[in-house]
Structure 1
Amino acid sequence: MHPKSCHKLEGQNLSCTRDDRELFAGLGFAVHPGQVLLLEGNNGSGKTSLLRIICGFREPDTGTVSWGEEAIPHYQYYSDMAYVGHLDGIKKELTVLENLKLSQALSQSGRLTIQQALDKVRLSGYEDTLIQALSAGQKRRLSLARLLITHNVLWILDEPFTSLDKQGITLMESLMAEHCANGGMIVMTSHHDIDLNGVDVQRIRLS
């Protein structure tokens, strides 16, 4: 379980313009422990731009994003946050086990050991497999295992169901629900509706 924290993720009066087109303006949200913020909208509506602002990768045209009482980006935020984008963020020249050991070395240890995480995402037995030998779905499962072995209260997920089959989607939803039940928070984009077993899901629809 994550240590109890008064931290919340909050956005105030956010706006973003790209190529002289206003994607959104006056946008606000607050995400507390145990909650999910789901960003919805068609391609080009500004979902990824908003996600990048929340990650601290780009600045909003107006407004602020804060973690706890402090505006991002700052060290504690990046210590508490994990981002999984369209690319899985894994080293293709390494094995499954080597990738997970590298991730663990760069962060605080999470609730699960490497073996427990591999069991959870159904990659047990693939420890010595090189990444290029994995299917797209297996690479996505490995990116989920990286979340489970590191201590990050806030998960930021850009289309996390990409490349996953029906079984993989169900697995992803169960891991997300478990993360929230343990006091975690999630901000995500998705073209799929989600079923998180009673988790409080806020939605922002961008158009």
Structure 2
Amino acid sequence: MLELKEFCCERNDRVLFKNLSLSVEAGDIVQICGSNGSGKTSLLRAVCGLNDSFTGEVFWNGMVRDTDIESFRNELLFLGHRVGLNKLLSPIENLKWSTGGKINWSEKDMLQALSRNGLQGYEFQPCFLLSAGQQQRAALARLLIAEELMWVLDEPFNALDTQAVDMLEVVMVDHAKKGGIVLVTTHHRLKIPGLRTIDLS
């Protein structure tokens, strides 16, 4: 379980949000909403330990997150709003690199993940030759081999067509059904039963 207590965040001497408390249980999908500049990305980065411009406490499974930050990070998958690919490498090479050696998946499994994500025939092409939508699909293929419990996704629907949007929603729901947690920011209207929303505006 993830819990935030009395969370406040500032950027450039401006308060983005304050006194935010939130509990997220296994199986929850939580959409962080708000206008541009409201602090959605700052909140996600703070949860992940990538942003220290906040006050308040983050708890993971009942313990202060930073008491065992390595265990927390081993259960966390963060995908930022930039695709995070090395454009000189192929999708399969990027996927191998993205696991950091944490996941024991074969190259065959990774190729199947890329194919399922609409990249059949592009697995070995340098990413700079791919369209923006294909690059986003390559980055999101990481979800199909993920073993981490909590996914933190910042604008994952960017540049995706309708088919890819529908598939990503299915992948998120499947993860939640297995007891996973998803925190997501998006301007996309999600069609997910039981979706929780937090509005920072």
Q: Report the TM-score when normalising by structure 1.
A: 0.88
Aligned to 1:143: 139
**Distance in 1 (alpha carbons) for counterparts of 2:174 and 2:124:** 28
Aligned to 1:5: none
Aligned to 1:3: none
Q: Where does the alignment leave 5 or more consecutive residues of structure 2 unmatched?
A: none
2:93 maps to 1:98:
yes
**Distance in 2 (alpha carbons) for counterparts of 1:183 and 1:65:** 20
Deviation at 1:174, TM superposition (A): 1.2
Aligned to 2:57: 64
Aligned to 1:107: 102
1:1-207 matches, within 5 Å, as: 8-73=1-66, 74-109=69-104, 113-196=109-192, 198=193, 200-207=194-201
Q: 1:14, 1:60 within 8 Å by CA — same for their partners in 2?
A: no
Q: 1:109, 1:150 within 8 Å by CA — same for their partners in 2?
A: no
SS state of the match for residue 29, structure 1?
strand
Match of 2:197, as an amino acid? R
Deviation at 1:169, TM superposition (A): 1.0
Q: Where does the alignment leave 5 or more consecutive residues of structure 1 unmatched?
A: 1-7
Match of 1:91, as an amino acid? N
Deviation at 1:70, TM superposition (A): 2.4
**Distance in 2 (alpha carbons) for counterparts of 1:20 and 1:96:** 40
Identity rate of aligned residues, in percent? 39
Question: Number of paired residues?
Answer: 198
- For the aligned residue pairs, the C-alpha RMSD in angstroms reads 1.9
Deviations 1:20-79, CA, capped at 9 Å, x for gaps: 322111101111111111110100111111111111111253211111122224001111
**Distance in 1 (alpha carbons) for counterparts of 2:150 and 2:60:** 10
Match of 1:173, as an amino acid? E
Q: 1:93, 1:132 within 8 Å by CA — same for their partners in 2?
A: yes
Q: Which sits farther off after the overlay, 52-61 or 164-173? A: 52-61
